[in-house]
Structure 1
Amino acid sequence: MEFYKANKLDTEGVAQLFDLYRQFYEQPENLKEAHKFIEERLLIGDSIIFVAKKEEQYIGFVQLYPTYSSISMKKAWILNDLFVTENERQSGVAQQLLQLAIELCHQTDAKYLTLETASTNVKAKKLYKKNGFVCDATFEHYTLSFASTDNIVL
């Protein structure tokens, strides 16, 4: 197995994984838009993607977005996506990808690494807790969705 930071040559392989990841979260298949999204991330460089490959097959990825902590005046990272193909789960791939994310935080002197996952994603929550992540009970998380214009008051 090999793990490394993705580049534009990895667009197709990562896009296929990204589309499967979205389907895992009950989104419709859309490889064309997944490809466009990943290609844009890699070209613009506004995210960091690490990939896992086994015998030239893409089997997992993690995508991180930079942010900042105003209070500490330091960089922070959002672990936005972590996915491993179904037949490679429980093989340590997710742990290795998570470790690469953690190492990135150390290398960039980040204040923290944050993520969110579905409350029903028991295996992922177990992995995160095993690696020292703590579920935040101090702050409430609010979202304003712009999926439709119905909720916008002008």
Structure 2
Amino acid sequence: MTNIQQATSENIEDITALFDEYKVFYKPKYDINSVAALIPERITESDSVIFLADIDVQVVGFTQIYPMFLSVSMQKLYVLKHIYVDPTHKGKGIGKILLNRGK
């Protein structure tokens, strides 16, 4: 069964490991060490929300969303910036579950 939880500072190692896999898969132009430094800040400053997907306590995916406020409509919304599922767990609906949790 897939569990979804909001990441906390206790999950930093898991998140950093997933971002490392994300980097290999998507080949973004940033250094994973800078990600390791930024993740704790994103969590403690509450300027993004990271949800983790785990199966049998193994973290297999994440999504990261950033809050925004639209002053014209006076509504808060979230922008999806990153989503990743370990390739060995693709096709199991984990990405869809993560997207739905971020709504």
Same fold flag (TM > 0.5): yes
After superposition, the C-alpha distances for 1:54-75 in whole angstroms (9 at most, x for unaligned) are: 2222100011101111221211
- Higher RCO (C-alpha under 8 Å, 6+ residues apart): 2
Tell me whether 1:71 sits opposite 2:47 in the alignment.
no
Q: Equivalent residue of 1:64, what SS?
A: strand
Q: Is the 8 A contact 1:62 1:98 kept in 2?
A: yes
- For structure 2, the residue ranges without an aligned partner over 5 or more in a row are none
Alpha-carbon distance in 2 for matches of 1:48, 1:17: 15
Q: Equivalent residue of 1:46, what SS?
A: coil
Tell me whether 1:16 sits opposite 2:45 in the alignment.
no
**AA of the residue aligned to 2:11:** D
Q: Is the 8 A contact 1:3 1:52 kept in 2?
A: yes
Q: 1:88 to 1:67 in 2, by over 3 A?
A: same
**AA of the residue aligned to 2:34:** E
Q: TM-score, normalised by structure 1?
A: 0.61
Larger Rg: 1
Q: Is the 8 A contact 1:62 1:79 kept in 2?
A: yes
Question: Deviation of residue 20 (structure 1)?
Answer: 1.9
After superposition, the C-alpha distances for 1:33-76 in whole angstroms (9 at most, x for unaligned) are: 22112111112111111101122221000111011112212111
Question: Deviation of residue 29 (structure 1)?
Answer: 7.6
For residues 32-111 of structure 1, the aligned pairs below 5 Å read: 32-102=33-103
Q: TM-score, normalised by structure 2?
A: 0.88
Alpha-carbon distance in 2 for matches of 1:65, 1:53: 21
Q: Is the 8 A contact 1:5 1:50 kept in 2?
A: yes
How many residues matched?
102
Q: Is the 8 A contact 1:16 1:31 kept in 2?
A: no
Q: Equivalent residue of 1:96, what SS?
A: helix
Alpha-carbon distance in 1 for matches of 2:46, 2:30: 25
Q: Is the 8 A contact 2:66 2:78 kept in 1?
A: yes
Q: Is the 8 A contact 1:23 1:29 kept in 2?
A: no
Alpha-carbon RMSD across the aligned residues, in angstroms, is 1.6
Whose strand proportion is higher, 1 or 2? Answer: 2
Question: Deviation of residue 24 (structure 1)?
Answer: 2.4
